[in-house]
Amino acid sequence: MKKLIYYTGRDMTDPELGINKKINEQIENFRKAGFSVDAFYRKHDSQLICRHDKEIVVKAGMHRPFKIEASKYLKRYIKGRKYDGAYIRYVYGDWQFFRLLKYLKKQKIVTVIEVPTYPYDKELTDSLENKVVLFLDKCYRNRMHRYVDRIVTFSGDKQIFGIQTIRTMNGVNFEKIKSVSGEHPYDGKINMIAVADLAKWHGYDRILEGIGAYYRQGGKREVVFHLVGNGPELEEYKRIIEKWHIEKHVVLYGQKFGKELEQIYEKCNVAAESFGRHRSGHNYSTSLKSKEYVAKGLPVIASSEIDVFSKSGSRYFKRFPADESPVDIEKVIVFCDSVYKSKSRKEVIDDIRGWAIGLCDFKVVMEPVFQFFKNTK
């Protein structure tokens, strides 16, 4: 049995966060595929944790910046321990991370790095802190080819940083994501859902502006936007809602998990992915959230192309312009009507989930990575 390091610099204190769920699913799927895994991550900001059968604290009381400290103490911890491979979820480069990569190469440990978003430079220009992160990353990333065997990417790039890629897509565990029941038939009322951390690039201000415009122009159909999550854009969203007096058409829930989130999903018949990726220089989405939406059995609207819909299922996807215009709510209504006109809601749910499971279930998307580790000595 091959023994792997799984390493992320993320803080994993809250297991309900979407990215943290994904990381735990990846770890679990490596084990199901026959690997012995020591997983390393942060908790409570300043703790470096190692989890095999149970969690142990590798280092407590790390200093800021915690991500840089974590790489240093991981390198110290694994010295003298035998590993065959390392799977690292990239959180940008720095000098300690670079030293870790050099050590892994010296020990002949096969190293694979997942770059969740690429390119990402424009996402790191919104604050002085992020500009420093980007500067450090640029100093080191173009030397990584000396020490890294493969990059896992959800983009179509054959090489990143001069390193050959394993191209796959974000995945979810369909066994753990319950589809919406479809008990309530489609009656023409549009119930849109978005679950997000409400960043600028989500672009939900465009939907809110679109709802305002729809009712100002005499729109008659009932449209409700169910917005789940908190984040830096929330106050701006509240301002738009108040400006256009659309309080009856937008529900702000804050963060919701578990049964509460399930109950919100049950009301909804279409999901809104992102309408602002062009703001960070992207026109192609590989998001985890889009996979959760199709696992739920929901058709999706967005302003960028989405990888899972480029494979099949395009009749369940509607793309809008990638610009700053308000979303045309009349076109959302026409799309939803077309989806549900010839099939029951339950049939639509089963159809979406049925084709999606063969494309983005974790077992499917991780298989190329498993095979690379198994076949590389």
Running along the chain, 377 residues long, what does each successive block of 10 average in pLDDT?
Answer: 96 90 94 97 96 96 92 96 97 94 98 92 85 92 96 94 96 94 94 96 98 98 98 98 98 96 98 95 90 98 94 87 98 98 96 95 96 93
Six-digit token pair at 284?
A: 């192609």
**Closest Cα partner for 289 from 281, 279, 304?**
304
Spacing of C-alpha 63 from chain mean position: 28
Domain ranges across the chain: 3-171+362-375, 190-360
**CATH superfamily, with its number, for domain 190-360:** Glycogen Phosphorylase B; (3.40.50.2000)
255, with CB counted inside 10 A (0-12, 13-18, 19+), is middle
pLDDT, tens only, 328-357: 999 999 999 999 999 999 999 999 999 999
pLDDT at 304: 95
330 SS3 class: helix
CA-CA-CA-CA torsion for 311, 229, 8, 93, nearest 10 degrees?
90
pLDDT at 111: 98
pLDDT at 313: 66
pLDDT at 371: 97
What single DSSP character describes residue 361?
B
Strand positions, DSSP E, 250-357: 250-254, 270-272, 284-285, 300-302, 305-306, 317-319
Residue 79: half-sphere exposure toward Cβ, Cα within 13 Å = 10
CATH number (3.40.50.2000, 3.40.50.1000, 3.40.50.300, 3.30.450.20) of 3-171+362-375 reads: 3.40.50.2000
pLDDT at 119: 86
Backbone angles phi, psi at 156, to 5 degrees: -95, 10
Using an 8 Å Cβ cutoff, are 137 and 9 in contact?
Answer: no
pLDDT at 125: 83
Using an 8 Å Cβ cutoff, are 5 and 38 in contact?
Answer: yes
Q: Decide if 3-171+362-375 and 190-360 have a common fold.
A: yes
Cα–Cα distance measured from residue 308 to residue 169, given in angstroms and rounded to the nearest whole number: 8
Q: What is the pTM (predicted TM-score) of this model?
A: 0.86
